[in-house]
């Protein structure tokens, strides 16, 4: 069912579902139903666990899988994307709920959805690739750490004296309350964790999380162990998701805007990463801008029906592919099955022990941590990249994602500019008899007596502006030839630097000739009026032409001096 990859210019805002249905078959429909049912079985315990980690009720996680999952499959730009609650949002959502309540979360998610739709309509899908991998790796690992630390309380059955929100405060509370450990809860947690680790090695077809939930529930129900369950901590409802409208004010919108941007960026990054992984598995090509629009609509829909923020889930998407899902129908089936389970079986969810939920989230945190990426980065990457990674990681744990991503992007941008500045250079050539295999090497050219050739290599931008101040070091010449064949781009500061060079040459009666100016620099110089100032005849397409032009200028100057 693989399809030809579309050229970037051909990407259109059309849901993938509408494209694949043209060639849909009965055989694929059966495969999609099977894949959708299996993914729903995987999504059930994960959705409940992630909802509890996000500080909301278990049904909110299922509402998200139902509403957001269906919308993303129906409108999305991927054949196989499965959407729902993910670990990436857990700490952010928990913080918003604790500080602003469910109304604040709904407003944040709706604004994030609007931002995502605007990003898609403005064709920002391809811009996500400009977020460095070190930042993505750093905040992903940071989120994994915060999830793990947040579940120690339930895994060990600790009784907290306070209700900490920040990760550092949770660590302090764990240390202060370690003497309240419930050994029965710890036993259930260890058994559940063992199932989650070892079960997939034997029977991968049956989700380990489902087995852990069943075993943990039966163990607590029939052994009389004093362990907290979902029912003992939360009010469980099997009612269908109902539309709700949050109380919106301008003041709340303004206050919650940073949270909305955080949710939007996370949803965009994780969903498009999931799409890329899925493309590699099925040989397809997703429509990134349509996917952003779908993610936006899904988050708005989820918020209006009592759910939490959602995005593409890489693990569930991979499970969909492995079980034969090849069209968005599988994702829609997954949502319908979760809905049926909510109505028919939600009352049994109350038996699930909290240590089992914690064990499931431990495994989720481990799987999302990407520790192998960090290991490879530390071994192979420059120290600057390693610094960006660990700064982002630490700030994610200590503060939040807004601070971590903001500081990480600024660091990465500054380091990138430094690297570009380091590779930019300007040096002079003189007429030297030398052998070289490159026919365009300036050392093989006959340079007129009173001409100097300077070659600039690398992008000309503000961070490298000090590299050009020595271009006119020899003032006893008639012509300065500036060769720019290796200048791919120039910014306003670079144009201004060239203008300063030309003005200095004017003061010393030195003419300037340019050789091989590339397309982007030529457009920038033309727009700035620079080309008209120098004269178009002094812009040559090759060094040979430029040297002939320099010789002609020298001859003119010599003739004037002779007369």
Position 155 in a domain: yes
Residues 323 and 437 in one domain: no
Adjacent-strand bridge partners of 456: 426
Residue with tokens 């090849």: 326
* Tally of CB atoms within 10 A around 554: 18
Residue 200 has what pLDDT?
86
3-state secondary structure of 439: coil
Q: Which residue has the higher pLDDT, 198 or 205?
A: 198
Considering the entire predicted model, what is its pTM?
0.75
Residues 206 and 256 in one domain: yes
Q: Which two tokens stand for residue 325?
A: 């899902």
Q: How far is CA 54 from CA 89, 93, 172, in A?
A: 8, 5, 20
pLDDT beyond 90 at 563: no
Residues 84 and 140 in one domain: yes
Which of 379, 414, 449 is the last residue in one of the domains?
A: 414
Tens of pLDDT along 49-82? 999 999 999 999 999 999 999 999 999 999 999 9
Q: Which residue has the higher pLDDT, 197 or 497?
A: 197
Q: How confident is the model at residue 428 (pLDDT cuts 50, 70, 90)?
A: low
Q: How confident is the model at residue 234 (pLDDT cuts 50, 70, 90)?
A: confident
Are the CB atoms for 102 and 289 separated by under 8 Å? no
Nearest to 214, CA basis, from 239, 188, 234, 235: 188
Residues 356 and 493 in one domain: no
Handedness of CA 332, 337, 342, 344 (dihedral sign): positive
Strand 511-515 to 479-486 pairing: parallel
Are the CB atoms for 42 and 352 separated by under 8 Å? no
Distance CA 81, CA 90 (A): 20
Distance CA 78, CA 100 (A): 34
Residue with tokens 């430094």: 418
Q: Which two tokens stand for residue 493?
A: 């500061």
Adjacent-strand bridge partners of 393: none
Position 351 in a domain: yes
Backbone phi, psi, residue 425, to 5°: -150, 160
Beta strands in 267-422 (DSSP E): 311-312
Position 266 in a domain: yes
Q: Which two tokens stand for residue 533?
A: 């100032």
How buried is 224 (Cβ within 10 angstroms: 0-12 exposed, 13-18 middle, 19+ buried)? exposed
Residue 26's Cβ-side half-sphere holds a number of Cα atoms within 13 Å equal to: 0
Which of 391, 414, 437 is the last residue in one of the domains?
A: 414
Q: Which residues of 525-553 are buried (b: 16+ CB within 10 A; e: fewer)?
A: beebebbeebeeebbbeebeebbebbbeb
Are the CB atoms for 385 and 134 separated by under 8 Å? yes
Residues 219 and 309 in one domain: yes
Position 116 in a domain: yes
Residues 386 and 440 in one domain: no
Residue 287 has what pLDDT?
94
Q: Which residue has the higher pLDDT, 331 or 477?
A: 331
Position 8 in a domain: no
3-state secondary structure of 308: coil
What is the edge-to-edge ordering of all strands in the sheet holding 539-540? 425-429, 451-457, 479-486, 511-515, 539-540
Element of type H or E holding 84: strand 83-84
Position 1 in a domain: no
Average pLDDT for 426-433: 53
Q: Which two tokens stand for residue 311?
A: 């995005």
Residues 390 and 434 in one domain: no
Residues 326 and 438 in one domain: no
Give how many domains the chain has, as a whole number: 2
Q: Which residues of 372-404 are buried (b: 16+ CB within 10 A; e: fewer)?
A: ebbeebeeebeebbbbbbbbbbebbbebbbbeb
Distance CA 143, CA 72 (A): 24
pLDDT beyond 70 at 434: no
| CATH number of the domain bearing residue 443 | 3.30.750.24
Position 302 in a domain: yes
Residues 292 and 317 in one domain: yes
Element of type H or E holding 539: strand 539-540
Q: Which two tokens stand for residue 295?
A: 């993610």
Residues sharing a CB contact under 8 Å with residue 419, sequence separation 6 or more, in sequence order: 384
Are the CB atoms for 346 and 62 separated by under 8 Å? yes
Q: How confident is the model at residue 117 (pLDDT cuts 50, 70, 90)?
A: very high
Q: What integer best gives the mean pLDDT of the chain? A: 87
Tens of pLDDT along 447-494? 888 888 888 888 887 766 666 666 666 667 899 999 998 889 888 888
Residues 406 and 319 in one domain: yes
Which of 414, 444, 460 is the last residue in one of the domains?
A: 414
Residues sharing a CB contact under 8 Å with residue 280, sequence separation 6 or more, in sequence order: none
Residues 316 and 452 in one domain: no
Beta strands in 388-531 (DSSP E): 425-429, 451-457, 479-486, 511-515
Nearest to 430, CA basis, from 456, 403, 449: 449
Distance CA 563, CA 558 (A): 9
Tens of pLDDT along 236-290? 888 888 898 999 999 999 999 999 999 998 899 889 988 988 888 898 889 999 9
Residues 384 and 437 in one domain: no
Identify the domain containing residue 64 by its residue range. Answer: 26-239+250-414
* Tally of CB atoms within 10 A around 221: 12
Angle (CA) 462-515-521 rounded to 5° is 35
Position 182 in a domain: yes
Phi/psi-derived region of residue 312, left when phi > 0, alpha when psi is between -120 and 50, beta in every other case: beta
pLDDT beyond 80 at 308: yes
3-state secondary structure of 450: coil
Q: What is the DSSP string of 140-177?
A: HHHHHHHHHHHHHHHHHT---SS---SHHHHHHHHHHT
Residue 219 has what pLDDT?
94
């Amino acid at each position: 069912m693989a399809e030809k990859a579309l050229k970037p210019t051909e990407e259109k805002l059309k849901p993938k579902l509408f494209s694949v249905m043209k060639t849909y078959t009965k055989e694929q429909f059966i495969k999609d139903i099977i894949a959708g049912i299996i993914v729903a079985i995987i999504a059930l315990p994960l959705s409940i666990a992630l909802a509890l980690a996000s500080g909301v009720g278990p049904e909110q996680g299922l509402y998200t899988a139902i509403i957001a999952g269906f919308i993303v499959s129906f409108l999305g730009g991927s054949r196989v994307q499965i959407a729902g609650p993910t670990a990436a949002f857990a700490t952010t959502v928990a913080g918003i709920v604790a500080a602003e309540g469910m109304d604040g979360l709904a407003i944040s998610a709706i604004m994030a959805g609007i931002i995502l739709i605007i990003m898609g309509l403005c064709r920002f899908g391809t811009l996500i690739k400009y977020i460095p991998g070190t930042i993505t790796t750093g905040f992903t690992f940071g989120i994994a750490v915060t999830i793990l630390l947040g579940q120690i309380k339930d895994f060990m059955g600790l009784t907290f004296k306070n209700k900490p929100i920040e990760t550092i405060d949770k660590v302090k509370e764990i240390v202060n309350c370690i003497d309240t450990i419930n050994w029965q809860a710890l036993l259930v947690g260890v058994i559940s964790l063992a199932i989650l680790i070892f079960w997939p090695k034997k029977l991968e077809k049956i989700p380990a999380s489902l087995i852990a939930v069943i075993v943990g529930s039966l163990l607590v129900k029939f052994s009389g162990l004093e362990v907290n369950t979902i029912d003992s901590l939360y009010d469980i409802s099997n009612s269908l998701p109902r539309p709700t409208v949050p109380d919106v004010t301008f003041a709340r919108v303004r206050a919650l805007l940073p949270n909305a941007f955080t949710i939007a960026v996370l949803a965009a990054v994780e969903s498009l990463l999931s799409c890329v992984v899925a493309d590699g598995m099925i040989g397809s090509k997703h429509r990134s801008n349509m996917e952003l629009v779908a993610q936006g609509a899904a988050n708005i829909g989820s918020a209006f029906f009592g759910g939490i923020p959602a995005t593409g889930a890489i693990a569930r998407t991979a499970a969909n592919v492995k079980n034969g899902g090849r069209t968005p129908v599988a994702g829609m089936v997954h949502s319908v099955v979760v809905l049926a389970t909510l109505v028919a079986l939600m009352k049994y969810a109350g038996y699930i022990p909290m240590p089992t939920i914690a064990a499931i989230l431990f495994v989720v945190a481990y799987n999302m941590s990407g520790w192998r990426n960090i290991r490879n980065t530390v071994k192979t990457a420059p120290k600057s990249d390693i610094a960006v990674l660990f700064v982002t990681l630490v700030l994610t744990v200590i503060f939040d994602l807004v601070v971590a991503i903001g500081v990480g992007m600024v660091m990465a941008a500054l380091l990138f500019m430094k690297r570009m500045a380091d590779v930019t250079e300007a040096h002079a050539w003189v007429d030297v008899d030398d052998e070289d295999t490159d026919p365009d090497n300036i050392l093989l050219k006959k340079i007129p007596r009173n001409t100097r050739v300077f070659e600039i290599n690398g992008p000309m931008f503000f961070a490298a502006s000090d590299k050009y101040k020595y271009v006119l070091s020899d003032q006893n010449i008639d012509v300065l030839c500036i060769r720019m064949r290796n200048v791919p781009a120039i910014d306003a500061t670079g144009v201004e630097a060239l203008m300063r060079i030309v003005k200095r040459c004017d003061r010393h009666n030195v003419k300037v000739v340019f050789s091989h100016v590339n397309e982007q620099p030529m457009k920038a110089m033309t727009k700035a009026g620079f080309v008209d100032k120098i004269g178009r005849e002094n812009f040559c397409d090759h060094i040979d032409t430029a040297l002939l032009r320099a010789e002609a200028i020298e001859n003119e100057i010599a003739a004037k001096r002779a007369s």
